[in-house]
Amino acid sequence: MGKREYIHLGIMLIIMAVFWVLQPIEPLTEVGMKVLGVFLAGCWGWSTCGVLWPSILCICALPLTGVATINELLAAGTGNFMFLFIMFILVFNQLLDDSGVNVAIANFFISRKIVKGRPYVLIFFLLFAGYLIGTVCNLFLTMFLMWGIIYGIANSCGYEKKDKLPSILIVAMLFVLLMGYMAMPFHGMTVQLLAAWANMAQVEIPFASWLAFSLPMGLGSIVLCCLVIRFVIRPDVSKLVAYDPDSVDKETIRFTKGKTIVLAMLIFFVLTLLIGNSLPTTNPVGYLVKTLGNSGMISLVILALMFIRVDGKPLFNFKETAAKGLSFDVLICTAYMLMLSSYMSGQATGINVFFMKLLTPFLGGLSPVMFCLVCGIVVAVLTNFLANIAVAYMFLPIALSFAPVIGFNPTIMAMIIIYAAHLSIATPAASIYSALMFANTEWLETKTAVRYALTIVVFAIIIMVPCATMLAFAIN
């Protein structure tokens, strides 16, 4: 660790110490005061130093609060069924990346004849391809893959680095990738927050309900980006008329036997969960899905893939794929969130009641729709200055606290919070992905990145957050 990390470690320890020394603020209990200190210290660490070592520090601090023993905390974290689910999903995502499915999908869309001579059709297909790949593949790899395609198109059509069109496409691509990252309830930060919410509220958001919310929001975000590019940014697209879809290497589009099997297993997994959750337990598929749950179903998919051979060779080596795909940042952070969410909303801490008492003067008189809208906007703004996972995790207990008072389903608020927390591209502090975008100074000037990213986020807050609120209420 460098000097910067030591400074933030000291700040985290000071935050914990303050909350451990001060007298409890009603209605917080003594234990609740300490747990809240650990939570706020973790939020500081996530927002300044990433998630790995701050999460480890907080895991060590939680048993010292007296909220639970270390064995109880570990059972709530790594022993939670969602931990196994996330672990296998990380392996499966790595298999998707290794198989080349992402490259095949991207090149398939930009090689369609319909894009020839139609610049905005090409832009739409390019963003849609990024969104689609982002729903299932590693976001880092997909981001660099799609940026590489943008560079290639820009070079072939005669655009220079830092020109208006490639600059806005780089920014818009990151935005739709984050929307794709949010889309599936078994991917990225979404699955971590959904798992934490299920622990807090003791109610899971149904698979079908989440897709009914996330997919329209994702597609709407693509349309939003296209409209912003065309009518607000208005870059010169005349050179895109010369783009030749036949220039795409046809070999990269070809779905080999291995790619086809991996993609088919992904589709099987998604459809089985969607159909199985809607069937009664008397139906074999319904019984299987409801008995095994998401964790059991992904385990079956992984098991099946381990026995499939292509051209006499195993389709994938679990140990090698897991070694590349398992992110300890994600696993440790997930374990900590599951531990904390198991006890943060309990009566022993008084944290839920504390949040409700603190915010009632500001939010208590709002209607359910206005309450969700205001919180969604606040989350969308804060997520561009603090770690998005920290912002979302701060507001989930608020949703749980206010639901009985205002009289609405807290699941609605949870969906809006998770969506709004993904609108994180306006500043380098918004997320690690936005930091990489701002660091891409070869193709994108910093002031240009700020202007374009802020434009997209502002329009998303004005248009998409209200749409998300209406959609969430309609679904529930």
Q: pLDDT tens digits for the chain (476 residues)?
A: 678 899 999 999 999 999 999 888 888 899 999 998 998 898 888 878 878 899 999 999 999 999 889 999 988 888 887 788 888 888 888 888 888 888 888 888 988 999 999 999 999 999 999 999 988 887 887 888 899 999 999 988 999 999 999 999 999 999 999 999 899 887 778 888 888 888 888 888 888 899 999 999 999 999 999 999 999 999 999 999 888 888 888 887 888 898 899 989 988 888 888 888 778 888 888 898 888 888 888 899 999 999 999 888 888 889 999 998 888 888 888 888 888 877 776 677 887 777 777 777 777 678 889 988 999 999 999 888 877 888 888 888 888 878 777 788 889 999 999 999 999 898 877 777 888 888 888 899 888 998 999 999 999 999 999 999 999 999 87
CA distances from residue 287 to 208, 252, 265, 337 in whole angstroms, order as listed: 17, 40, 20, 30
The pLDDT, as a whole number, for residue 420 is: 94
Give whole-number Cα distances, 88 to 169, 196, 222, 315, 328, in Å. Answer: 33, 18, 29, 16, 13
Does the global pTM surpass 0.75? Answer: yes
Measure the N-to-C terminal CA separation of the chain; round to a whole number of Å.
Answer: 46
Helices (H) and strands (E) in the chain, counts: 23, 2
The verdict on whether omega for the bond into residue 27 sits within 30 degrees of 0, i.e. cis, is: yes
pLDDT confidence of residue 281? 83
Of 331, 335, 344, 330, the C-alpha closest to 68 is 344
State the DSSP code for 309. E
Please tell me the predicted confidence (pLDDT) of residue 1. Answer: 65
What is the pLDDT at residue 218?
93
Burial 48-80 (b: 16+ CB within 10 A, else e): bbebbbbbbbbbebbbebebbeeebbbebbbeb
Contact call for residues 204 and 341 (beta carbons, < 8 A): no
How far is the C-alpha of 263 from the C-alpha of 240, rounded, in Å? 31
Q: What pLDDT is stored for residue 345 in this prediction?
A: 67
- Among 218, 201, 207, smallest CA distance to 185 is for 207
